[in-house]
Chains A and B, each alone.
Chain A
Amino acid sequence: MALLEIKELTVNYYTLTGVVNAVDKVSLNVEKGEWISVVGESGSGKSTMAYAIIGLVPPPGRIAGGQILLEGRELTSLPPKEMRMVRGRDIGMVFQDPMTSLDPLRRIGHQVAEVLVEHGVAEWDDALEKAKEMLRRVGIPEDRADYYPHQLSGGQRQRVAIAIAMVLRPKLLIADEPTTALDVIVQDTIMDLMEEFKKEGTSIMLITHDLALASERSDRIAVMYAGRLVELGPVDDVVEGSAHPYTQMLLRSVPDLWGPKDIKSIPGFPPDLRNPPSGCRFHPRCPYATSKCSREDPPMVRVGPLHYAACHYAGKLGEEGGG
């Protein structure tokens, strides 16, 4: 059984100017001990999906349909009290900007220890000791447990955020753009740290807009576009043999030091999700679009042993076709 099963998840934002369909019938599994990266532009619904998993879709958003099963337990219908216990204990989360994701007024040791206390795992004295241990584990000297966030660098703060997320050793760590606000060298050390936890058995879901970053350490990659899952598969399959035109174009927009490929940005803009395009949501920007694409929703089809894509012509489009 997969650790996390997302089935037909739909999330809408009910704004004054209309209903924004941010996530549309997305189905996705996270296996035990795997690293899956969810890739997409901003507004693709990847972050909304992450918030839906931990039951914290910001208002005026709401889960409008589908199921989220954690080890077979349905999360979307869980009473708030039980859902609170899932957060932090079963699922940990790391946010984008470590400058703002820690409380500036409280010592980092307390912020780590609080998770243990709030989940009834330890009393404060004990929890503070364990917090120090955890901080050392992520590479923060334990005498810094009394430091406030502003006394640490960005990278150190993100380590603290990871320590907080991992202190109860959750089964799943969701990291929402954890390195976007950091410089490149620090990025790498944070990724290393996450990989260490993966080796200890934690599943990782990395939410990112950076396909290159995703392809470095992931086992599988899921690509989202305009609220839908468009491609899913093992990292090599997706990167080397992408089956969806959007993924292909995304790959060509990544600068590659060693490749002679010319970089191409994707023409056009992501659609307005208050009024998404009919049929395939990518068709207005797709160079291969036919009339079928604007009429029918493309189903997720299998293009390899574990490789799926949502395109009517998946597997029939040559890589060189876009040249």
Chain B
Amino acid sequence: MARGLGYYIAVRALMIIPTILVLYTIVFILLRMLPGDPILAVAGTKNIPPEQYEELRRLAGLDKHPVVQYFDYLWGMLHGDFGVTLATPRGTPVSRYIWQRFPATLELTIFSFAISVLLGLATGTVAALRRGGMVDAGMRVYSIVAYTLFIPWFGMILQYIFGLQLAWLPTSGRLDPGLTVDRVTGLYVLDSLITRNWDVLKSALAHLVLPSITLGIVLSGAYTRLVRNNMVDVLGQDFIRAYQARGVRGWKVAWYALKNAFIPVVTLMGLQFAILLGGAVLTETTFSWPGMGTFIVDRIEYRDYTSIQGAVVFFALFVGLISLIVDIVYALLDPRVKY
């Protein structure tokens, strides 16, 4: 039964592989099944010289048999090769863009994720403690409204209020112009801490506020609901009354209740993170955030088939990794999970 956490993680990691493979396969097949010639699309004209057409096909890896393509790409992916761009600048490895852009997206999503979880826990707990009353009803409205907020719209309203009218916060980019930071991780907040560059830290945090609040609030609605329902459930259980009956202090009881209500929330986190990544594309576009989302959108304008394919496949890998992390966190939190 108990073979230890290392064994558990290894098994879970192995179980993620099929998920990633399936996702890769779906993306691979979809992109090839769909009508339209990507080569003509990226060239922007039907009248391109045949040799240039062939050159583009070779660059895109489309000249080989689909089965060969499938395994070639998979093999490359394992080595961090996601193909090369077809549009200008032609022939650049997509992985170079991912290397540049992904940390920005990661930084944004980590902050948004933290905001959404904290907001969800707070609102859900308050609703559960005041269940049946006006506060509960209010939190319910909050969760629905938050969930249906249209990210670009909400983001622009925040830009208008806090960036334009109050002029408290910057509305676009990751850093004030002129500032640079040595890359260690690519996450500016982390890098500026490591290099003790306080100006950059301040600027990076200020730039993060609006986009991560936008995305965080939108994502918090789902947690509000879940935390509230779990909390109501947990508060009705005997062990809460039993804690009180032994004279345990109120705030400690509330903490234990929250811990128990949090367990099912963890299972939602993987899915929420996926939604977060989708929302990040819109958030990045709204706030000119130089991440993966804006990269995809830029490349769509060029109809750069290979870049889009590379970015999407990379996201598939990342989603797999996230679900592995969620599994591990869950196992660490809940003693009932056997490993």
Please list the residues of chain A having a beta carbon within 8 angstroms of any beta carbon in chain B.
Answer: 54, 56, 58, 84-89, 92-93, 95-97, 100-106, 114-115, 118-119, 148, 150, 161, 164-165
Contact = CB atoms under 8 A, between A and B. Distances in A.
Contacts of A102: 239, 242
A148 to B, nearest CB: 4
B336 A103 contact: no
Given A103-B239, A104-B260, A105-B259, A118 B245 contact: no
B247 A103 contact: no
B335 interface: yes
Contact of A103 (B249, B256, B333, B334): B256
Contacts of B260: 103-105
A93 B241 CA distance: 10
B153 interface: no
A88 B336 contact: no
A243 B334 CA distance: 54
B239 A100 contact: yes
26 contacts: A56-B245, A58-B241, A87-B247, A88-B245, A88-B248, A89-B247, A92-B246, A93-B242, A95-B245, A97-B238, A101-B238, A101-B241, A102-B239, A102-B242, A103-B239, A103-B243, A103-B256, A105-B256, A105-B259, A114-B248, A115-B247, A119-B247, A148-B336, A150-B336, A161-B242, A165-B246
B263 interface: yes
A101 B260 CA distance: 13
Contacts of B247: 84-89, 115, 118-119
Contact of A106 (B249, B256, B263): B256
Contact of A115 (B246, B263, B334): B246
B92 interface: no
A54 B248 contact: no
Nearest to A114: B248
Contacts of A118: 246-249, 252
Contacts of B237: 100
A180 to B, nearest CB: 12
Contacts of A54: 245
A106 B244 CA distance: 16
